[in-house]
Amino acid sequence: DGGITQSPKYLFRKEGQNVTLSCEQNLNHDAMYWYRQDPGQGLRLIYYSQIVNDFQKGDIAEGYSVSREKKESFPLTVTSAQKNPTAFYLCASSIGYNTGELFFGEGSRLTVL
């Protein structure tokens, strides 16, 4: 089945540790996105990539990093510089950048202990 796969679904980390969230899509989409979801805050854009080997900061990029070495993969690293990393992270893709529907994965819930 075509879609977006995020892993892991649940992740716990200690303060000071970096953690990488995986996002893979087999939809042949050019654009991919990472959003952070906090209760009552909606979806806030962390990073986005319009095409492979290219990415741009979103509204809340501080403390995060990404790479886009392959069209189907867009991993997100939450670094120790992120002050409040506990959140629900959503990855999405679209056929092209700003061309319409976003397809979301089922999310990864990160808890910092």
Partner 1 sequence: GENVEQHPSTLSVQEGDSAVIKCTYSDSASNYFPWYKQELGKGPQLIIDIRSNVGEKKDQRIAVTLNKTAKHFSLHITETQPEDSAVYFCAASGGNTPLVFGKGTRLSVIA
Name the site residues for partner 1 (rule: CB under 8 A): 4, 33, 35, 40-45, 48, 58-59, 90, 92, 97-98, 100-102, 104-107
What separation in angstroms does the CA of 34 have from each of 14, 60, 84, 112, 113? 22, 10, 16, 19, 23
Shortest distance in whole angstroms from residue 46 CB to partner 1: 11
Distance from C-alpha of 44 to C-alpha of 64, rounded to nearest angstrom = 13
Q: How far is the CB of 91 from partner 1 (least distance, A)?
A: 8
Q: How far apart are CA 77 and CA 59, in angstroms?
A: 16
Specify the residue, 61 or 80, whose C-beta has the smaller distance to partner 1.
61
Closer residue to partner 1 in complex, CB, 2/16: 2
